[in-house]
Amino acid sequence: MSDGPAGGARLAVRKTYKLYIGGAFPRSESGRSYVVTDHKGGFLANAAMASRKDARDAVSAARKAFAGWSGATAYNRGQVLYRVAELMEGRRTQFAAEVRAAEGLSAAKAEAAVDAAIDRWVWYAGWSDKVAQVAGSSNPVAGPYFNFSLPEPTGVVAVLAPPETSLLGFVSVVAPAIVTGNTVVAVASERFPLSAVTLSEVLATSDVPGGVVNVLTGRVTEIAPWLASHMDVNAIDLSGVSVSDPAQADDLAVTAAGNLKRVIRPPDTDWLATPNLDRLLAYLETKTVWHPAAP
C-alpha cells in the first residue's frame, strides 16, 4: 500500500508556526497569520500574527518567570544557556536549511551563521558567573563600613530582533538579556521569523523555564508600541528598528519614557562580529550595599 496519494508523490507535512508564550505554543488570539516568503518571494509558510493581547500575555508570562530565573544561581543559568547550544548543535542541519531558504545565503555562509549563533550561546553562558566581578566592586568609604556595588537584572526586557537576519541576530539580542537573570519578550524578524520559532522549540525542550523567553511573530509596527508603553516592561531593545527605521525608534523611545523604561539603541549591523559585554551590561542595574565592619 502506498503512503502517498494514489499514483502521485507523497505530500509533505507542512509545519504550523505558532507563537511561544509561557513555555507553550499558542496560535494568535486574533486568529490571524501572514505569509512568509523565501529570498526569491516564493511561499515558505504561514506564521502567526501576534496581537496586542498576545503581547500582554507574553509580558505576564515573563513577569511570572522572573523571580525564579533571577533567583537561580549564575552558574545554573550558564548551564542552561550551554544546554541550548547543545540542542542547537543537534539540529544544525535544519537551522542551516532554514537560514539558507530565508536569506538566500550559500550553504557555507548559512552554516557559518548557524555556527555563530550556537557559539554565541556558549560565549554568553561563560560570562554568567563572571559578570558580577566585572560589573560589581568593593568601594572604599570613610567610616567602619563595607560598601559593595552588586549588579542585578533589570526585569522584563522587550526585544525587537534585527530585521535583516533570521537566526544569528535573534540569538545575539536574546542571549545577553537572559544570562544575567532577565526575562524576555522577543519580537522576531518580521521578514525572517521561522528560525526564531524553530529556536523556540529548542528552548521548550531544553532547561530554559517556561516564560523566560517568549517569542512573538508578526508586524513590528503593531506589537512594538504596546511593548514600549507597557508599564510592566522594564527595558526595551530597539535593535529591530534602530538602523532600519530611526523615526520609529524615536517614537518608541518617547513612548517608553512613560514609565522610565530603559531604552537600548545599539548601532549593531555586523552580527558575525565578535560580541562584547555592552549588551550584557545594558540589562543590569547596580545595587549598593552597606554593611558594618567588625570593630
Predicted TM-score of the model (pTM) = 0.91
Q: Tell me the average pLDDT across 274-284.
A: 91
Residue 243 has pLDDT above 90, yes or no: no
> What span, in angstroms and rounded, lies between the C-alpha atoms of 170 and 160?
9
Domains detected in the chain = 33-292 (3.40.605.10)
Q: Longest Cα pair distance anywhere in the chain, in angstroms?
A: 91
Task: Report residue 150's pLDDT band, with 50, 70 and 90 as the boundaries.
Answer: confident
> What span, in angstroms and rounded, lies between the C-alpha atoms of 239 and 102?
20
Residue-wise pLDDT tens digits, 131-148:
988 887 777 888 887 877
> What span, in angstroms and rounded, lies between the C-alpha atoms of 32 and 49?
5
Q: Are strands 156-160 and 235-237 parallel, antiparallel or unpaired?
A: parallel
- Report CA 67 to chain centroid distance, whole Å: 18
Q: Looking at the DSSP assignment, which residues form a beta bridge with residue 49?
A: none
Residue-wise pLDDT tens digits, 63-102:
999 999 999 999 999 999 999 999 999 999 999 999 999 9
